[in-house]
Amino acid sequence: MIISETTNYVSALARTSIFYGTSREDLHALLCLSQPRVGHAQQALCWQGEPCGEFYFLIDGLVKAQRINAANKLQTLNIIHSGEVFGIEALFSGDGYLATFNVERESKLLVFQASQFLHFIRTRPVMVMQILATLSKSIGRLVKEIDQLKLLNAEQRIAAYLLENYDQDSGDNKVVLPAKRSDLASMLAITPETLCREVKKLKQTGCVSGYNGFLYIDQPSRLEEIISGGTVPPSTLGNTQRN
């Protein structure tokens, strides 16, 4: 790697939740263990249940995490974007990869070998504690998502997803949606038809607007009311909504 690339990658790794707080010296050393790789569209990087031999940092591109669930159906768990580390939880689970990671479009990755990484962190307890803390938070999110799938109806699941995925500080309250409608529907355990119907209803009531790859959260309080089980009256916003 050239120096400018190394500096950029170190900065990118420092922004990830898994390596947040890690010294730049350690991140430089960690980067030396990585190998660049190009993933091609529709390529599987690893398979559900396969022993963990490596984990990944997505420099650029898009990767989809999918698994066969208890009902023997293919379910989309997550869409992984540039700047995210994935597959690392399989290092500690003992059960192999929790999902199959499929490249959605040509992607640039850094690949870290599991055995080298485990040896690397043996003398870095601060890094280990940060990794464990991040994985613990991930487990908490998964438990919350499972509860939502059990307890919430389709409209409430969509409302919860939108509230959890928009940046309140961005100023535009925008949620970037998965490129494929079917992926979001699968993540929420509903049909694409139900997703379209419920989003249309949310637009009609003034909760959200837009649907060209993203939604604007126009009325967060209304979404919170939906999740709590309240009914949302039709919008009185007139033509102020974005289409």
Summarised one tens digit per residue, pLDDT across range 84-104 is 999 999 998 888 999 999 999
* % the chain with pLDDT above 90: 66
Task: Judge whether residue 171 has pLDDT over 80.
Answer: no
pLDDT at 240: 38
Give the confidence band of 167 by pLDDT, cuts at 50, 70, 90. confident
Give the confidence band of 202 by pLDDT, cuts at 50, 70, 90. very high
100-113/174-176 β-pairing: unpaired
Higher pLDDT, 164 or 52: 52
* % the chain with pLDDT above 70: 91
| Residue tagged 């940060």 (tokens) | 130
Q: Are 223 and 157 in contact (CB under 8 A)?
A: no
Q: Which helix (H) or strand (E) holds 230?
A: none
pLDDT at 238: 38
Task: Judge whether residue 219 has pLDDT over 80.
Answer: yes
Q: Which domains does the chain have, with CATH numbers?
A: 3-150 (2.60.120.10), 152-227 (1.10.10.10)
Average pLDDT over residues 37-66: 97
Give the confidence band of 3 by pLDDT, cuts at 50, 70, 90. low
Q: What angle do CA 180, 216, 220 make, to 5 degrees?
A: 120
Average pLDDT over residues 67-91: 92
- Torsion angle, alpha carbons of 15, 18, 20, 26, to 10: -100
**Average pLDDT taken over every residue of the chain:** 88
Task: Judge whether residue 160 has pLDDT over 80.
Answer: yes
